[in-house]
């Protein structure tokens, strides 16, 4: 007996439209921190890596953030970035003022960073970013394109950025540890238009023999000279009701999708599917 369900199979035009919409979104990325913390000159041996805020004050506190760039597609360089915007959520502003965003020139981790082992700071990316008491509860956005370009080109080590208060600023930003609010620092990247993006597809016929009710898979690979951006799949026919339950990059250049029957297999069933990979020229 079939289980009651509300399974919907997309038409081919709808699937193509969804694919085109998806391809449009791959020109953007949201990068999250791997590490964030603040240091306090009045408590030089104390680590604040687990704090839920990044404290800034001209008298004592400096914030540090390093971002995980693994979300940037393989092969992308600085020329692939049109704009990169740092977004910080303002938790509080006790005393209005301004701060600088500087490069960090030295390795550190949020679990061990203290004022006593603070790495050297590099050049200023953005100077005198203003904060007022009205900034509380809002995002401040800062253009840090130059830093992201240098990180991706390898001309500057990705040791992150420092938020350095100018007198008389006293303020806090939410850190990634503030999970209740989910206002972690982020970098929003807009990628430059990329010529030569192509979609590669393959078709498979998935076969289930009773009592097998497990997963069946279909994969497609990008051609030589290209890199995998993303992928997906769709059911293209058949009378059975099957569910996509996994879709992932399988290796460096292959996309795999898995399906399973929505109900118990009674007799052999076959379902045609199509899997696609979105591929970009290697840079």
| Residue 7 within any structural domain of the chain | no
| 163 in a structural domain | yes
Q: How many domains does the chain have?
A: 2
Residue 135 lies in a domain: yes
Q: Is residue 57 part of a domain?
A: yes
At 254, which CATH number?
2.60.120
pLDDT of 267 = 86
Whether residues 112 and 230 share a domain: the answer is no
Q: How many C-beta neighbours within 10 Å does residue 197 have?
A: 15
- Of the three residues 154, 173, 191, the one that is the final residue of a domain is 191
Rounded CA separation 159/104 (Å): 6
* Residue 1: per-residue pLDDT: 30
Query: What pLDDT is attached to residue 141?
Result: 94
pLDDT for position 260: 86
* CA distance linking residue 239 with residue 223, whole number of Å: 32
* CA torsion, ordered 35, 39, 44, 46, to nearest 10 deg: -50
Is there a single domain that holds both residue 99 and residue 166?
yes
What is the rounded average pLDDT of the residues 33-39? 98
- For 249-264, how does the pLDDT look when each residue is reduced to its tens digit (9 = 90+)? 988 799 999 988 877 8
Q: Which tokens hold the place of 62?
A: 């400096």
Mean pLDDT across the chain: 87
Reported as a pLDDT band with limits 50, 70 and 90, residue 194 is low
Same domain, 88 and 182: yes
Nearest to 252 by CA among 218, 283, 227: 227
DSSP 182: T
- Same domain for 83 and 145, yes or no, is yes
Kindly state the average pLDDT of the residues 20-26: 44
Domain around 263: 12-25+194-281
In a domain, 64, yes or no: yes
Instruction: Read off the pLDDT of residues 54-103 as tens digits, 9 standing for 90 and up.
Output: 999 999 999 999 999 988 887 889 998 999 999 999 999 999 999 999 99
Query: Which pLDDT value is given to residue 12?
Result: 41
**In whole angstroms, what is the distance from residue 85 CA to residue 73 CA?**
18
Cα 208 from Cα 267, distance rounded (Å): 8
Distance, in Å, from the CA atom of 21 to the CA atom of 15, rounded to the nearest integer, reads 10
DSSP string, 65-131: EEE-GGGSPTT--GGGEEEEEEEEEEEEEEE-EEEEEEEEES---TTT--GGGPPEEEEEEEEEEEE
Residue 266 has pLDDT above 60, yes or no: yes
Domain match, 67 and 111 both: yes
Same domain, 36 and 149: yes
Q: Could you read off the pLDDT of 142-185 as tens digits, one per residue?
A: 999 999 999 999 999 999 999 999 999 999 999 999 999 889 99
Separation CA 121–CA 116 (nearest Å): 14
Q: List, in order, residues 6 or more apart from 123 with CB less than 8 Å away.
A: 102, 103
What is the number of residues in the chain? 283
pLDDT in tens, 229-250: 888 888 887 656 788 888 889 8
Band of the pLDDT at 20, cuts 50, 70, 90?
very low
- Within 8 A by CB and 6+ apart from 13, the residues are none
Q: CA 278 from chain center: how many Å?
A: 18
Flag whether 99 is in a domain: yes
* Whole-angstrom distance, CA of residue 29 vs CA of residue 165: 28
Do residues 116 and 202 share a domain? no
Residues 202 and 75 in one domain: no
Are residues 229 and 206 part of one domain? yes
Residue labelled with tokens 């890596």? 49
């Amino acid at each position: 007996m079939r289980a009651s369900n509300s399974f919907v199979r997309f038409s081919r035009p709808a699937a193509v439209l969804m694919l085109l919409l998806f391809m449009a979104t791959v020109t953007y990325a949201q990068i999250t921190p791997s590490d964030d913390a603040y240091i306090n000159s009045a408590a030089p041996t104390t680590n604040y890596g687990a704090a839920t805020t990044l404290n800034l004050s001209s008298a004592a506190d400096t914030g540090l953030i390093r971002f995980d760039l693994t979300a940037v597609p393989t092969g992308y360089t600085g020329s692939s970035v049109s704009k990169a915007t740092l977004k910080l959520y303002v938790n509080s502003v006790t005393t209005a003022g301004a701060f600088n965003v500087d490069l960090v020139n030295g390795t550190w981790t949020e679990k061990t960073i203290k004022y006593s082992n603070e790495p050297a700071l590099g050049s200023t990316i953005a100077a005198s970013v203003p904060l007022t008491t009205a900034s509380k509860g809002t995002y401040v956005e800062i253009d840090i394109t130059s830093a992201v370009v240098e990180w991706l080109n390898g001309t500057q080590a990705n040791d992150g950025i420092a938020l350095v208060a100018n007198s008389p600023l006293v303020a806090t930003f939410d850190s990634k540890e503030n999970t209740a609010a989910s206002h972690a620092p982020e970098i929003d990247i807009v990628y430059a238009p990329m010529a030569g993006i192509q979609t590669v597809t393959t078709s498979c016929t998935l076969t289930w023999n009773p009592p097998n009710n497990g997963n069946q898979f279909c994969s497609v690979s990008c051609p030589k000279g290209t890199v995998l951006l993303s992928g997906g799949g769709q059911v293209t026919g058949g009378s059975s009701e099957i569910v996509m339950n996994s879709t992932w990059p399988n290796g460096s250049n292959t996309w795999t999708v898995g399906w399973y029957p929505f109900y118990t297999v009674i007799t052999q069933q076959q379902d045609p599917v199509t899997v696609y990979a979105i591929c970009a020229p290697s840079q």
